């Protein structure tokens, strides 16, 4: 279920980060060599992450601390995709945000103001700012007419110590309490994938997506007709792939396999 030469022949790579390049603050096997291989071989590449906590600059700085030097232009987050989507829907609107500075800054940059009284949108991302008080306010605002937006549908994410709740899990109590379903902008939403292709200036036929999640990365690639590579270095085991009605084109142990002849 892998054809490494076929993968290496692709012109552009869309790459997830958590579980593919690192776990928390631990670089995964072969990540440095993989990024070096992309640069040396003139590949277009974009780190497309459903994480909304950090800005592209902060993500670049994190990789730098881990020993990988990458310009911020190579990163695109669900926070940026969410801000872009909302700006197209309600230019100059207002939001109530449960999330970290990366999400808040993206919304500010897109022309949104913060509003905890009568916002157009309640936007939820990952982060430590989630509390019972914030949850209660979000429920009140959604019941008052604010539209509920999630940066991504991930229920969990990998860290050094195991698994932590992600955006989908944090949005769920608001959905249940208000009987309103959130609209999620991040992967597998095709919007996110189209943004990635535009950033790369690449055709889908020339591109491959590398990720560790069947329910976001792989289905996003399939629905966008982009070739898929699942790596088993994150949240998905080989046994778990069998429960899904769709399958990746390739399955690798990790990105370390790609540069190696």
What span, in angstroms and rounded, lies between the C-alpha atoms of 251 and 253?
Answer: 7
What span, in angstroms and rounded, lies between the C-alpha atoms of 147 and 167?
Answer: 16
Q: Are residue 152 and residue 212 in the same domain, yes or no?
A: no
What span, in angstroms and rounded, lies between the C-alpha atoms of 94 and 86?
Answer: 10
More confident of the two residues 156 and 190: 190
pLDDT in tens, 196-243: 999 999 999 999 999 999 999 999 999 999 999 999 999 899 999 999
Residue 62 lies in a domain: no
pLDDT mean over 247-256: 97
Q: Are residue 231 and residue 173 in the same domain, yes or no?
A: no
- What amino acid positions are annotated as catalytic residues? 16, 18
Instruction: Report the share of the chain in percent with pLDDT over 90.
Output: 89
Residue 80 lies in a domain: no
Q: Quick check: 124 pLDDT over 70?
A: yes
pLDDT in tens, 99-112: 999 999 999 999 99
Pairing of strands 156-159, 162-165: antiparallel
Q: Place 158 in a pLDDT band, splitting at 50, 70 and 90.
A: low
CATH of the domain at 245: 3.40.50.1000
Number of domains present in the structure of the chain: 2
Residue 106's alpha-carbon distances to 56, 77, 87, 151, 216, in angstroms, are 10, 10, 11, 12, 22
């Amino acid at each position: 279920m892998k054809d490494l030469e076929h993968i290496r022949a692709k012109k552009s790579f869309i790459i997830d980060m958590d579980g593919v390049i690192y776990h928390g603050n631990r670089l995964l096997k072969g990540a440095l060599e993989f990024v070096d291989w992309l640069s040396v071989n003139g590949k277009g590449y974009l780190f497309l992450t459903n994480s909304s906590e950090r800005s592209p600059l902060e993500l670049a700085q994190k990789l730098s601390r881990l020993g990988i030097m990458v310009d911020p232009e190579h990163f695109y987050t669900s926070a940026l995709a969410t801000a872009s989507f909302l700006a197209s829907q309600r230019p100059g609107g207002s939001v109530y945000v449960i999330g970290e500075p990366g999400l808040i800054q993206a919304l500010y940059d897109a022309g949104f103001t913060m509003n905890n009284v009568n916002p157009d949108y309640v936007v939820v991302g990952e982060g430590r700012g989630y509390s019972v008080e914030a949850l209660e306010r979000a429920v009140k605002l959604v019941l008052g007419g604010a539209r509920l937006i999630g940066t991504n549908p991930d229920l969990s994410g990998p860290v050094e110590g195991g698994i932590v709740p992600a955006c989908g899990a944090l949005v769920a109590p608001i959905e249940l309490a208000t009987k309103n379903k959130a609209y999620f902008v991040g992967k597998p939403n095709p919007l996110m994938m189209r943004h990635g292709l535009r950033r790369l200036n690449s055709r889908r036929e020339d591109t491959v997506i590398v990720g560790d999640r069947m329910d976001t990365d792989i289905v996003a690639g399939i629905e966008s007709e982009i070739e898929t590579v699942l790596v088993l270095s994150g949240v998905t085991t080989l046994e778990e792939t069998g429960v899904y009605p769709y399958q990746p084109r390739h399955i690798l142990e990790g990105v370390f396999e790609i540069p190696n002849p």
